[in-house]
Each structure stands twice: as structure tokens, then as C-alpha cells.
Structure 1
Amino acid sequence: MAGASLYGQADVPDAPDVPGAPAGGGLPYGLDRLSNPWTRFLTRRLARLLVSVFVVVTATFLMIHLIPGDPVRAALGLTAPADLVESRRESLGLNEPLITQYVSYLGGLFTGDLGTSMISGTPVSEIIADRLPQTALLGSLAFLTAVAIAVPLGLAMALLTRDGRRRGVELGFTSTAAVMSAIPEFLLGVALVAVFAVSLGWFPVAGMSGASSFVLPVLALALGPAMALARILRVEALRVLGEDYVRTARAKRLPRRLVYRRHVFPNALTSMLTIGGLVLGAMLIGTVLVENVFAWPGLGMTIVESILQKDYPLVQGVVLVYGTSVLFLNLAVDVVLGIADPRSTIRES
């Protein structure tokens, strides 16, 4: 309402109410949602994901064009008839300008068309759909096994060695964990096969032929990351044990189990989530080596076979699946971390 001001001047008339406008002169309608930390957090993560996916897609497209010489000739062999080579180049669209090929490649991705295998003539998407479940199952079981080993082991070592106790136990654990986490998956797989499959005969040497055939591949993929996670979790748990709020809880003579359950374990596990995401991505890449050691019929064995056979469209498709899978796994871990520790979203925002 207009009227005289305290300084003898007329007040500016009140602005009319606008439907949907925020009260008090806030942000315009819709933009106020962007002030929410979760919204900004997810917006940044999704934008980063889109850029990363674009880079991966472009890199996989250029892969076949960076191969020295003619990739079709390399795949079919030097003795292949010229008309067959030309026909295969035409079917792959390699005679088109590069930008036209790129646009066609992007269009194919949106429709699920990843090209056709040079060797079998089967659509790449069908081959990947057939092999992907085996790799996903192996990676999931290995990750769950690594967590099942790392969490109790890391927390137990933190409680046993807190305040400088049991130096011998600490030295033995850290040394063993460092050695185990440094052994490549394929070497560990070969050692497991030599001992438990060849010498003792407890498990199958290779292949996917029942529940027992999962044991050695899962252990080969999980033991190294499990020891690395256990070391990290022990350090985080020791750090949390030294925090003031834990000391205060102890000073109040709260039951030790209650202090550990409410304060130590949740905070230590939250700190491990970020590293766990990196480990999960590394384990996914590690399936390439483990699958070839155990003749596991997944994407890892498929990509090695396609490289040896110079089946470049299949190599492109598998690399694209691995790359985008790692990116989406990292996004999922970031979201889980944001839910478990809302402070991380506020700090980033």
C-alpha cells in the first residue's frame, strides 16, 4: 500500500502479486529449486557423466580409424580378394566421409545398433547381450566377496591394534595386505588354479559348469581388492576412534558395543565408499584378465578373442560397454555416498 515514508517522500507502490512468484523477492519460479544442494549435486554429476560418455563414445569411434593401414584388410588377411575387401568396407560404411560415419555411429547407438562382427556376421549388440550377464555376475559376486572379507577384517584389525597395541599383528596384517593387493589378478588366478584345481582337484580348472566353477574366479578377482579395502578401512576406523565425539561417548561410559555401532562403524564405512567405487571399477576391468585365465564366457574373453581376430566392430562395442559401465558405476557410488553422508553434497554445492 502506497503512503508517506519516514523521510517525507511517497512510498513506491507495492508490486502486484504474480502467480507462482516467490514471496520476499526470492529466485524466479523454478530457479529456486536449483538452490537445493541435492539438485546442484545431481546436476553437476549428470553433466560430468554426459561429457565423459561423449568422450568415451568418440574415442571408441576413432579407434578403428587410428589403426595403421586398412582395418578390413587386416581382419580378412592379405590374401583376401579385393572385391570381398571392398564389399566389407562398403557394408561397414568405411568409404563414407569421417563425419558421416560419426553421425551414423551416433545414430546407431541411440537405436542399439553397435555394428556387425567382421568374423561371424552377428550383430555386435547380440554378442554383447549374450556375454554381458556372465561378466556382470562374476563382477558382482567378486565385489560382494571383497566387501564381506574387507569389512570385518578391517574393523577387527582396527580394534586389535588401536592405541599402538599389538605391533606384531599390525605389521603382519599391513605387510600381507600390501603384498596381496599388489599381485595382479591373472597371476593370482594362475596360482589358485595350480593349487586348488590341478594339485588338489577341489575345483574345476576352467569354464562355467556349476556353483563350484565360480569359487576360483571370484577369489582371484576379489582377494586383492579385499585386502586393499581392509587396509583403508582399518586406517579410517583408527581415525574415527581418535575423534572427540568418540572420546566423549567413552567418557560418558556408554557401552563399548554401542559406541562402535553408532559412531565408529558408520563413519568408517562412509569414508570407505569413495574408495569402494574406484575398486568396483577396477574389478570390472580386472574381469578381462580373470575371464581369460579361467575361460569364462564373458565380455573379458570376448574382447581378447576379438582383438586377436582383428574383429574391430566387436572390439569397439565391448570397449564402449566397459567404459560406460565404469562411468555409471561411479555415478551410482557418488549418489550412494551423498545419501550416506549428506554433508558431501553440501560441501560440493
Structure 2
Amino acid sequence: MTIPSNAVTTAAPPEQAEPAAARAGRPRLLAGSPRLEFVLRRLRRAAISFAVVLVASFFMVQLVPGDPVRAALGPTAPLSTVNALRQQLGLDQSLWAQFTHYVTALLHGDLGTSITSQRPVSQILGERLPTTLLLAVISFLVAVVGAFPIGVATAVSARSGRRRFLDLGLSGLLGVLIAIPNFLLAVLLIATLGVGLPLFPPAGWGTPSQAVLPVLALAIGPLAYLARIVHIEMLRVLDAPYLTTARSKRLPGRLLYLRHALPNIVTAALTAGGVVLVGLVAGTVLVETVFTVPGIGSTIVSSITAKDYPLIQGIVLVYALLVLGANLVIDFAIAILDPRSTIAEA
């Protein structure tokens, strides 16, 4: 008996067909999504970085010369009182025992107690952190809002080699502003706008007028840096073939630059924005000290002077979390706006 040729089938064995069906019905997040892998990779790096900062901050603080207990109680305090406080704080134990106790307490949400004020470190940070965050966020917004119009407008004006003097002048001015340290800029602002022309209070915090000079001291350098990045990227995009084609269609300038050119510099601007945000968080230390702003930046200076180990370690960890958090936000924003970045890194 012969079997007709059209009746012959080539069905796959059940053991091979079943995995294919399982793969087809598997959720994408569990099937190796590039975005999920990108997020997990970034979170893993952030966790490792935080662990390194935790270990380094603890042991480096121990290198600060002097006795923190004696600094807190004063040189005339009885030795018995000094030894009692040292025992209470656990400073009489070995360094490894102190580190183990510190990490264990940290896992339970306890940052320790300030040696000088005898208050919980978390309470001190809770009072000072909002001021630092507000100062950094306002400065970042001022830098971003000011950088994009300056960078885009000057790039459009200097396109194709036109107004070469404008391009050179802007590059020189931005380079000077980037090179000036924020604490020196703070002193210059106090001397000019705070004392010479008393337009704004030279120190303090609490009113909008008192926030102007600290915000300017923090924002001017990052604004110049971002404006330079936007200017360079915009010049590159303006000479791209697709924009030449769009320009040949006689599109309005608003549509040409805002819809076709600006979106193509967002990734570079966000990358630079991450650097700026991290720099702003770190820059609050000196600026807050110069303007006597009651944030964690000025607090860490006083805590180092007083050799307040728990407070120093708590502030360092908070700064590390702020920096790592800012980097994660920028990375995730870039991954959402430009999915190719997640694939390229895989």
C-alpha cells in the first residue's frame, strides 16, 4: 500500500514544539528584555559603588587626626567622663568591631548618634537635607532653562561658518565661566551684588532674595557647560543631511529647529546634564558654607572640624545616594528616550 505524497507531513516532535510554544507565550521581561537587563546592570553597579563608598567612608574617617570624644567634651573634661562616653559610643572597641556594629545598625536604618550634639544623625539630616535638595534642584533648573536657548540660538546664528566672531566669543566666555570654581564665584557675587551693589542679601537662607546669590553661584558654571554642549551638538545637527532636506522644504524656523533638530541633541544634553547634576550636589558643600546656608553641605564642614564620626559618615552616605540616584535617573531617561543605548551596551 502506497501513501499519497500530499498526505506526508513533517510535524515536529512534541518535545521540540513545546519549548517553542513556551517561548512564544513567555513575558518579554523574562525573555531577556534589553531595557530590563540595562536597568538591572545599572542597579548592580550602583549597589557596588555604594558599598565601596560605605567601606571607604568608614575607614577614611578614622584617619582624621584627634580624639572626637575629647573634641566634643573639651580639653578640661575629666578622663572618667571621656572614657564613659567613648565606651557608650563603642569607640573603645576594635576597628573591625566598630565597622560590624556600624553596618548592622545601618541595615536597621540607624545612622548613629552625633558625638557633638548627642542627637540622631538621621534627625539632623532630615532637617538639613531639604535645604540642600532645594538649592541643587533650583540651580539645576536655572542651568538647564538658560543653557538651551543660549546654545540653540548661538548655534543657529553661527551655522555654516557665519558670524564666526560670535562662535569664538561665546566659546571663550563659556570657557572662562566653566573654569571659575563655584566658591570663588560665590565670593565675587557677594562682593558685587551683595556688598558693592546691595541688590541681594550676601548671606542667609529663608527668603527668595536670599536664595538668588547661592543659586547663581551654583548655576552659572553648569549653565555655561551645558550651553557649550548644546551649542556644539546643535552645530553638528544643523549640518546633517536630513535637516538640509527639511530646510529645502521651506519649513518654518520654529518647526525646523524645535521638532527636527532639538530632539536629536537630547541624549547628549541629558548625558551632560547628569554630570552637571552630580557636580551641583557636590558643589553645595562650599557654596552653603560661603553663604551660611543651613544644609548638609555646611554641616559636613562643621562635623569634620569637630571630628564627629557618625555625622560625617551619614552625610557622606547621603551624598553618595544623591549622586548615584542622579546618575540612575539620567541613565533611565536616556534609555527611555533613546532605546538604542540599551542595545548598544548589551
Q: State the TM-score, normalizing by the size of structure 2.
A: 0.90
Q: Does 1:15 align with 2:51?
A: no
- Alpha-carbon separation, structure 1, partners of 2:248 and 2:201: 55
Query: CA 1:30/1:107 → structure 2, altered by over 3 Å: closer, same or farther?
Result: farther
- Alpha-carbon separation, structure 2, partners of 1:194 and 1:70: 38
- Alpha-carbon separation, structure 2, partners of 1:164 and 1:17: 63
Shift of 1:204: 1.0
Q: Does 1:292 align with 2:292?
A: no
Letter in 2 for 1:14: P
- Alpha-carbon separation, structure 1, partners of 2:300 and 2:24: 52
Query: CA 1:13/1:335 → structure 2, altered by over 3 Å: closer, same or farther?
Result: closer
The one-character-per-residue Cα deviations of 1:29-82 (angstroms, maximum 9, x if unpaired) are 679725211111001001101101111111122133333464434554554432
Match of 1:218 in 2: 215
Query: CA 1:13/1:48 → structure 2, altered by over 3 Å: closer, same or farther?
Result: same
Query: CA 1:198/1:141 → structure 2, altered by over 3 Å: closer, same or farther?
Result: same
Match of 1:115 in 2: 112
Match of 1:132 in 2: 129
Aligned ranges for residues 138-149 of structure 1 at < 5 Å?
A: 138-149=135-146
Equivalent position to 1:177, from 157, 174, 177 = 174
Q: Aligned to 1:192, what secondary structure does the other structure show?
A: helix
- Alpha-carbon separation, structure 2, partners of 1:30 and 1:89: 56
Letter in 2 for 1:287: T
- Alpha-carbon separation, structure 1, partners of 2:28 and 2:55: 33
Letter in 1 for 2:319: Y
Aligned ranges for residues 231-246 of structure 1 at < 5 Å?
A: 231-246=228-243
- Alpha-carbon separation, structure 1, partners of 2:239 and 2:300: 48
Aligned ranges for residues 274-293 of structure 1 at < 5 Å?
A: 274-293=271-290
Aligned ranges for residues 1-349 of structure 1 at < 5 Å?
A: 14-15=13-14, 22-23=19-20, 26=23, 33-68=30-65, 70-73=67-70, 75-349=72-346
- Alpha-carbon separation, structure 2, partners of 1:165 and 1:135: 43
Q: Aligned to 1:23, what secondary structure does the other structure show?
A: helix
- Alpha-carbon separation, structure 2, partners of 1:172 and 1:13: 72
Shift of 1:333: 0.7
Shift of 1:110: 2.5
Answer whether contact 2:67 2:307 (CA < 8 A) is retained. Answer: no
Query: CA 1:22/1:105 → structure 2, altered by over 3 Å: closer, same or farther?
Result: farther
Shift of 1:257: 2.6
Answer whether contact 1:22 1:29 (CA < 8 A) is retained. Answer: no
| Range moving further from structure 2, 117-126 or 24-33 | 24-33
Q: Aligned to 1:214, what secondary structure does the other structure show?
A: helix
Answer whether contact 1:246 1:264 (CA < 8 A) is retained. Answer: yes
Letter in 1 for 2:297: G
Query: CA 1:298/1:16 → structure 2, altered by over 3 Å: closer, same or farther?
Result: same
Answer whether contact 2:66 2:307 (CA < 8 A) is retained. Answer: no
Answer whether contact 1:241 1:247 (CA < 8 A) is retained. Answer: yes
Letter in 1 for 2:135: L
Answer whether contact 1:34 1:40 (CA < 8 A) is retained. Answer: no
Answer whether contact 1:56 1:324 (CA < 8 A) is retained. Answer: no
Shift of 1:28: 11
Letter in 1 for 2:331: D
Answer whether contact 2:229 2:269 (CA < 8 A) is retained. Answer: yes
- Alpha-carbon separation, structure 2, partners of 1:251 and 1:294: 53
Shift of 1:26: 4.5
User: What is the percentage of aligned positions where both structures have the same residue?
Assistant: 50
Answer whether contact 2:112 2:310 (CA < 8 A) is retained. Answer: yes
Letter in 1 for 2:276: V
Answer whether contact 2:152 2:234 (CA < 8 A) is retained. Answer: yes
Pairwise CA RMSD of aligned residues?
2.5
| Range moving further from structure 2, 86-95 or 42-51 | 86-95
Shift of 1:230: 0.2
The one-character-per-residue Cα deviations of 1:120-178 (angstroms, maximum 9, x if unpaired) are 11111111110001111111100000111101001011101111110111111111100
Answer whether contact 2:64 2:307 (CA < 8 A) is retained. Answer: no
Answer whether contact 1:273 1:337 (CA < 8 A) is retained. Answer: yes
Q: Aligned to 1:35, what secondary structure does the other structure show?
A: coil
Answer whether contact 1:22 1:28 (CA < 8 A) is retained. Answer: no
Higher helix proportion, which one?
Answer: 2
Query: Structure 2 stretches of 5 or more lacking a match?
Result: none
The one-character-per-residue Cα deviations of 1:230-264 (angstroms, maximum 9, x if unpaired) are 01110001111122221222234433332212221
Letter in 2 for 1:276: G
- Alpha-carbon separation, structure 2, partners of 1:110 and 1:166: 59
- Alpha-carbon separation, structure 2, partners of 1:287 and 1:27: 52
